[in-house]
Amino acid sequence: MARIPPRIQGDCGEFSAIGWLLSRGARVYLPFEHSPDVDLVADLDGRLIRIQVKTSTVERGGRFDVMLVTRGGNQSWSGVAKHFAPARCDYLFVHAGNGRRWFMPSSAVDGTAHIAVGGPKYADYEVEPGDTLEVMAAPRIATLAAARRGSRAVKGDAL
């Protein structure tokens, strides 16, 4: 699998979660501005739930390593890692590189820095698969590549 830029990979995970929730009849809301604990809020079966979304392309022995700890991701990072805590969200949605997906109550997550999905531990929370992350990301990556080529062509034409 080609490397997917982290921002695009994360967006693909959120799109996957939104689609899955909508297919269940949920109404989905996006938090205004950046929320470190919650990526989505959904009204599912008359109950508002807070959802953290994670993705993983790191596969070992048929299982995917999912990083739960947040280390920033931008130049203003304070250096403090934020570990997963079940009290900060109600559910964790995971989208693995091969399209497998899980929707689990945060209280069932047995880890603060990382977990492995794909084995028996979280099997009860696996939902139907979606597209692979590579397929989901391809149009965005192509658009970025075309934009870069286009900006170079414009600069070259001006010379």
129 pairs with which residues across the strands?
A: none
Contact present, 54 and 69 (Cβ < 8 Å): no
Number of H helices, E strands in the chain: 2, 9
**Which one-letter DSSP state was computed for residue 70?**
B
Reported as a single tens digit per residue, the pLDDT across 13-71 is 999 999 999 999 999 999 988 777 899 999 999 999 999 999 999 999 999 999 999 87
Can you give the length of the chain in residues?
159
pTM over 0.75: yes
